[in-house]
Amino acid sequence: MSASPSPTTTLDRDGSVDDLPSVAAAPGAAQGDSRISPRAHARHIGALVRRNLLWIRQDPESMFDAVLMPVVFTLLFVYVFGGSIGQSLGGGQQEYVQYVVPGLMAMMGMNIATAVGTGFNQDFQSGVMDRFRTLPIGQGSVLFAKIVVELMRMLVATTILMVVGVLVGFDIENWPGLFAAVGLATLFGSALMWIFLVLGVTMKSAQSVQAMGFLVLMPLQFGSSIFSPTGTMPGWLQNFTDYNPLSSLADAARGLMVGGPVTHDLWVTLGWTAGLTLVMAPIAIHKFRTKN
Query: Could you tell me which of 218, 214, 191, 187 has the C-alpha nearest to residue 203?
Result: 214
What are residue 173's phi and psi, to 5 degrees? -90, -15
pLDDT of residue 21: 47
Per-residue confidence in pLDDT tens, the chain, 292 aa = 444 333 333 334 344 444 454 433 334 444 455 567 778 888 888 888 998 898 888 888 888 888 899 999 999 999 998 888 888 888 888 899 999 999 999 888 788 888 888 888 888 887 777 777 777 777 788 889 999 999 999 999 999 999 999 999 999 888 999 999 999 999 999 999 999 999 988 888 888 888 888 888 888 888 999 999 988 889 899 999 989 999 999 999 999 999 888 999 999 999 999 999 999 999 998 888 887 6
Q: How many beta carbons lie within 10 A of that of residue 174, not counting itself?
A: 14
pLDDT of residue 22: 41
**Contact call for residues 137 and 36 (beta carbons, < 8 A):** yes
pLDDT of residue 33: 56
Torsion 177-179-182-186 (CA) sign: negative
pLDDT of residue 81: 87
